[in-house]
Copies of this chain bind each other. A is one copy, B any other.
Amino acid sequence: MTSSDKWQLGGRHRKLGAMERMRGVARYTDDLRLPRMLHAKILRSPHAHARILSIDASRALGMPGVIAVITGSDMPTPYGVIPWTTDENALAIEKALYVGDGVACVAAESEELALRALKGIEVEYEVLPAYFDPEEALAAEETINPYARKGNLSKKVELEFGDVDAALHGAALVIEADYEFHGTTHGAIEPHCALAKVDADGLLTVWSATQVPHYLHRELAKVLETPARQIRVIQPPLGGAFGGKSEPFDLEFCVAKLSQITGRPVKLLYTREEVFYAHRGRHPMKMHYRVGFDASGKLLAVDAKTVLDGGAYSSFGLVTTYYSGQLLCAPYELGAYRFDSRRAYTNKPACGPKRGHGSVQPRFAMEVSLDKAAVELGIDPIDLRRKNAMGEDCLTVNELRVGSNGFLDCLAAVEEASGWKQRRAKLGFGHGLGVAGSTYISGTNYCIYPNDMPQAAVQITLDRSGRARIFSGASDIGQGSDTMLAVIAGEELGLPTEDIRVLSADTDLCPVDLGAYSSRITLMVGNACLEAARKLRKKVTQSVAKRWECSPKQVNLVAREAIDMHDPERRAPLVEAFQWAEADHGLLGEVGSYDTPKDRHGSYRGGAIGASPAYSFTAHVAEVKVDAETGEVGLVKIWCAHDCGTAISRGLVEGQIEGSCYMGAAEVVLESHGVNSEMGGLHHGPSLLDYRMPTTLDTPEIEALIVEAPDARGPHGAKEAGEGPLHSTIPAIVNAIYDAVGVRVDDLPVTPAKLVRALAAQAEKGGV
């Protein structure tokens, strides 16, 4: 880090709050303690599917230190983060739908007493047949979720663009295969935690480890039947989220309700086991793909059929179902495209959004299909992708508008950095390189609930001591959004990030922002911040110009000084310039807002679900060593080149690339989240001992390569970096395994057992 970097857009900035975290003094939700605070615990169903006949809490209520017990009937209004799929209750009312579904909640003087009291609640269940396989569930007569229409189809999307059948019929090569993605979960270090209090004036405050304070605010108002203006949601520093905290959970409703009932603060911290039950992780998908090419390798058509295993509730599943198809049409030009995605309810923890929401699984299918085609056609896999690259400023076959596009540069960067040309297919048996490419959105044009208000807003004031303060609703979930805003504002105002206070994610003090999901914050909140900062810059430069009797345009604000660009000797400390401006204009406070661009029809907002203001692009090369005897895959190195538009803060972008590669790699060789259907739907192992989360020792070397293709719609051209770089990690590794040992496992994760079986099958066929 050079000393001037901290002043610059695109420099390396210390994350705001990083030192507090490093030194262990940041106060996460569970670190908050209030006087007279109660502790709550949730009683969970031992059955995967059971009718609740009765709940008797009288014994629990008689236990010492037990203050209150609530059940589903205390909060009967159903909710759901997507307003069209409100199919969940704060606690189960009629039926429990998976092992771990919450049925009652106790508040007691201590966590231990609350746990003990759970044993004093008697629930009479009628056990019902359970469905663990999505296709079986879809075929079943019985309906799992009581709010679902008859049957277990959670969502179906069938869309066709162009004539797929004709295109495939005329194709020189059709790669047809079944791909399977078993579920994975987020594994944030911080378990979900919520604390509520009702103050003497009736205001309910909920502190929660959430990444969507605004949606939580709305759903609390609905379920508690309390006006939103009487509720405040605060997001303390988060210990990871990755999509796993992007909707309301039972604990938030329970602490709020119990606080309203008891008049005392109530806290609930999930155990690690409960985090696995809360889940909302990546959907298991069964994907049948047919991908057609002409003889030169040109992509003609894709026909994708996908079954999503949704678990017991909808969560964001409506969106997931769209994303499982809609986000596949870049970065390659595609003549025709059809997808048929069906999401099923099953008696398992609900699936939802995980980093790279909905599009990671189809990307795996697509990029492996491309790799197979390259082999069949004898084309270098990078060249095949290059040949099909769609370029910038174009419409995809499903009418997504792509602006800037650095995909070819990403391919070139990983090709060069990995020594692809010299090394690929030349490393000897057991050692291979694989490539893959991908794209992702920078936020979506849709808000989750239909409205005409801005998607993002920022308020900035300047202080006569030479500081700026930013109020933003954006949730910093570790991705560094607070820092990003400080860098953007600092660039306009001549301030280093340390002179900028960012207050975010407090619904009482901050503007509404929709939350940290779909990689929307840098583009959307960043644009709002830029607007507000530019208004302030204008006032400050005007006031300086007035005193210097020059044009405001020749006044620059940089490094805590105002400088005359025509006469760089003429300078004033920025603190003085702020004071001049405050004297001229009054309090220096401005707002900025961002909304997605409206199309020519006015209120309709840009294309299909999945349409985004801008798209990021990524290419990966992975290097693996495979032990053909044990089937163990050793990850040697991952090169990831990511087009984030413009890197607002390089270190943060690199961090996102590294984190994405780490997370994606684990989804290939380690992680699998599911239940045991033969044991009544018990979780495979809801603990960090059983669930195979990678450690640093499992992590390959990662080389992050930033590619900048600035997009006209992003602030300073910025797009996204938090989710895109995960996607092609997975197929790049799978393709590298093929390069190493000549077999493919199309069923993730690639466990040693599967790989050994595949190698044995190949040997039988006379390979190797």
Contacts and interface: CB of A to CB of B under 8 A. Distances in A.
Given A228-B466, A466-B227, A509-B469, A454 B587 contact: yes
A498 interface: yes
A507 B465 CA distance: 10
A679 interface: no
Contact of A228 (B453, B465, B589, B591): B465
B591 A586 contact: yes
Interface residues of A, number: 56
A511 B201 contact: no
Given A453-B579, A587-B454, A20 B199 contact: yes
Contacts of A154: none
A201 B19 contact: yes
A229 B587 contact: no
A264 to B, nearest CB: 11
A200 B593 contact: no
Contacts of A582: 453-454
Contact of A20 (B200, B575, B586): B200
A25 interface: yes
Given A20-B201, A201-B20, A589 B459 contact: yes
A7 to B, nearest CB: 15
Given A199-B20, A469-B509, A509-B469, A457 B591 contact: no
A509 B503 contact: yes
Contacts of A392: none
A543 B467 CA distance: 34
B512 A508 contact: no
A17 to B, nearest CB: 8
Contacts of A229: 463, 465-467, 499, 575
A697 interface: no
Interface in A577-630: 579, 582-583, 586-593, 595
Given A465-B227, A469-B509, A509-B469, A457 B587 contact: yes
Given A464-B453, A508-B469, A587 B593 contact: yes
Most buried by B among A229, A471, A511: A229
B228 A586 contact: no
Nearest to A594: B586
Contact of A452 (B19, B458, B583, B590): B583
Interface in A525-571: 528
Contact of A465 (B16, B199, B217, B452): B217
Most buried by B among A16, A23, A465: A465
A525 to B, nearest CB: 11
A22 interface: yes
A451 B579 CA distance: 9
Contact of A501 (B465, B466, B508): B508
Contacts of A200: 19-20, 22-23, 25
A630 to B, nearest CB: 46
Given A16-B201, A229-B463, A229-B575, 4 more contacts: A19-B200, A25-B200, A453-B583, A588-B591
In the A-B complex, the 4 residue pairs with the smallest Cβ-Cβ separation, listed nearest first, are A586-B593, A19-B200, A457-B587, A228-B465
